[in-house]
Chain A
Amino acid sequence: MEERFKEILAQYTSLTVEEITEETRFRDDMELSSLDFMTLLGEVEDEFDIEFEETDSVGLFTFGDAVKLIRRKMGDE
């Protein structure tokens, strides 16, 4: 899952899959706007067949934060 998520992110940013780490920040390192990030979550939903709540995006700053959330959602399914 992590690798596929990195591939999706790499499509939207100038970073390569190899450059994305647990600490990579969506806003500062990937230069994603809040809306870029929201639509990205929509793509992640489709990719992993999970559903986010609107409030899930609050407190997600890094790749590692998002991976934890996705894992939790996949576990919930």
Chain B
Amino acid sequence: MSELICEVIRRSCVDFADIPAVKWTEKKEIKERSYRELGENVTLLRKGLLAEGFGGSRIAFIGASSVWWVESYLGVVTGNMTAVPLDIGMPAAELAELIVRSDSTGLFIDAAKKELIPELKSLCPALRQVWVMQGDAEGAESLDALKEKGSSYEGDAEPARDDTAMIIFTSGTTGKSKGAMLTQHNLAENLEAMSFSSKPGVTLLNVLPIHHAFCLVMDWLRGFDKGAVICVNDSMMHMVRNMNLFKPQSMLMVPLMIETLLKRIDAIKEPISPKEAAQRVFGGRLRYIFSGGAHLDDYYLERFKEFDIKILEGYGMSECSPVISANTPLAYKYGSVGKPLPNAEVRISEQGEILVRSSSVMKEYYKMPEETAAALEGGWLHTGDKGYLDEDGFLFINGRIKNLIILSNGENVSPEEMENKLGVYPLIGEVVVIGESNGLTAIVYPDPDAVKAGGLDDEGIRSGIQSCLDEYNKTQPTYRHIVGLRLRETPFEKTASRKIKRDKVLQ
């Protein structure tokens, strides 16, 4: 019987008390928080929340990776509360929609986004309290004030095995994101099932966005479980600088980052050894990169061997807390995403879809019974990915059933969701969004009536539609920007129910 996630944290804060739990930089100076200090802060924050009557509530998070984000998050999940991590890059209206849909009554927000506080409060009437994670902000309480309340609160709360520890929103094919509810048990089981062990004090560098299940569980919760020193990359601009500063031994990445690092290595023109090159770019101690979120070409696995770095690919999804299978140093096969974890059973359906049954599969989608029933039909999680198991039990992915675009940064985007928004512009008659090597492209059939009414020539149509895309991009995080435009002279081929035949577009 595994622990609950609250127990994992409590144990680590005692067992690894004197080890630094988190390191970060402030004005190029390294700061750190020990496991003991982390544990004390987490307790005060949890008790502060309970003192304020947030027991049993859902609490949203908007912020980049930071020690304050993590302490607040742990304050929530070590109590009988549910954390709802949100994407800091999302526009205010979309953040508000998810806060409302998750029934969150509290919000922790990064000081970098404090200008959103008035708008979010007005759009989310059920929000009772906002806490700013660094310093002070108008309309919000500070973490110090919350901890102060916790220091005089005598009660506490113990979560139950099936309490929802967090809700992770994932892109939905219907254009509406779904909140996967992960329990205390789901998360703890996923940590326990990852057999790859490491010694306390091992240094990790966190470079992925913390609102993703992959990052939050694999970097942070797993790191804490093992007593790792988790270093925070303050900006993607400083990834290489921080690798040199913190000298990580292991990192979690998406393929886009691995590609960028190799370009960085290849840009070194002096005749130096691979070891010296690795020292210069990776800090010299990096031995393992865990890659997930999207497929990585075998070429990179080979190239990184030159630097004595093993890339271990894995596979998962938020609904599975998130890891389903992973290569390990002792059991790996090129091109595969490893063997299913010991707590996961994988089966391939007649249609070739990967189905999963595991103690880490989510409880349900929050307040979406139809979507839950479809995703968990027959007691198996329907991943939407196509794949097969080889004779040695390694899982291979070879296609998708779901209509999601997987970008090389690991973000999943729903083309229908974007198409619905783009379709609102009068000049866009029909549109299909596809993923290409350098980003998202919109294929547009201009609306003939709008073209006629505007008296537009070819150039006018192109610039008019480009303006629509520019306007749309301004409302979206960078990874969801549409960077390519192709025009069609004829409408798209459609099914009998007038839906665009997407497979024809992609051919």
Does B504 make an interface contact (CB < 8 A)? Answer: no
Q: Are B438 and A39 in contact (CB under 8 A)?
A: no
Q: Are A38 and B236 in contact (CB under 8 A)?
A: yes
Which A residues lie within 8 Å of B241 (CB)? Answer: 42, 46
Given contacts A11-B267, A45-B237, A46-B241, contact A39 B260 (CB under 8 A): yes
User: Can you list 26 A-B pairs with a CB-CB distance of less than 8 A?
Assistant: A11-B269, A12-B264, A27-B439, A31-B438, A33-B259, A33-B260, A33-B438, A35-B236, A35-B256, A35-B409, A36-B259, A36-B263, A38-B237, A39-B237, A39-B239, A39-B240, A39-B264, A41-B237, A42-B235, A42-B239, A42-B240, A45-B237, A46-B241, A52-B237, A54-B235, A54-B237
Does B483 make an interface contact (CB < 8 A)? Answer: yes
Does B450 make an interface contact (CB < 8 A)? Answer: no
In angstroms, Cα B236 to Cα A16, docked, is: 26
Name A6-65 residues within 8 Å CB distance of B.
11-12, 27, 31, 33-36, 38-39, 41-43, 45-46, 52, 54, 58
Which B residues lie within 8 Å of A39 (CB)? Answer: 236-237, 239-240, 260, 264
Least CB distance from B393 to A in Å reads 34
Chain B interface residue bracket vs A:
20 to 34
Least CB distance from A61 to B in Å reads 10
Secondary structure at chain B's binding surface: helix, strand, loop or mixed? helix
Since A33-B260, A36-B260 are in contact, a sample of 14 more A-B pairs with Cβ atoms closer than 8 Å, ordered by chain A residue number, is A33-B259, A34-B409, A35-B236, A35-B257, A35-B260, A35-B409, A38-B235, A38-B237, A38-B239, A39-B239, A39-B260, A42-B235, A45-B237, A54-B235
Q: CB-nearest residue of chain A relative to B234?
A: A54
Q: Are A43 and B240 in contact (CB under 8 A)?
A: yes
Which B residues lie within 8 Å of A54 (CB)? Answer: 235, 237
Which A residues lie within 8 Å of B263 (CB)? Answer: 12, 36
Q: Are B478 and A42 in contact (CB under 8 A)?
A: no
Name B221-270 residues within 8 Å CB distance of A.
235-241, 256-257, 259-260, 263-264, 267-269
Least CB distance from B430 to A in Å reads 26
Secondary structure at chain A's binding surface: helix, strand, loop or mixed? helix
Does B445 make an interface contact (CB < 8 A)? Answer: no
Mark contacts of B166-187 with chain A using CB atoms, 8 A cut-off: 1 yes-contact digit, 0 otherwise: 0000000000000000000000
Does B334 make an interface contact (CB < 8 A)? Answer: no
Q: CB-nearest residue of chain A relative to B478?
A: A34
Least CB distance from B396 to A in Å reads 26
Q: CB-nearest residue of chain B relative to A28?
A: B438
In angstroms, Cα B235 to Cα A52, docked, is: 10
Which B residues lie within 8 Å of A33 (CB)? Answer: 256, 259-260, 408, 438
Does B332 make an interface contact (CB < 8 A)? Answer: no
Name B467-494 residues within 8 Å CB distance of A.
478-479, 483
Least CB distance from A49 to B in Å reads 12
In angstroms, Cα B438 to Cα A23, docked, is: 19
In angstroms, Cα B269 to Cα A35, docked, is: 21
Which B residues lie within 8 Å of A42 (CB)? Answer: 235, 237-241
Least CB distance from B281 to A in Å reads 10
Which B residues lie within 8 Å of A11 (CB)? Answer: 267-269
Q: CB-nearest residue of chain A relative to B261?
A: A39
Which B residues lie within 8 Å of A12 (CB)? Answer: 263-264, 267
Name B269-288 residues within 8 Å CB distance of A.
269
Least CB distance from A41 to B in Å reads 5
In angstroms, Cα B483 to Cα A33, docked, is: 11
Q: Are A27 and B483 in contact (CB under 8 A)?
A: yes
Which A residues lie within 8 Å of B235 (CB)? Answer: 38, 42, 54
Q: CB-nearest residue of chain A relative to B264?
A: A39
Name B430-486 residues within 8 Å CB distance of A.
438-439, 478-479, 483
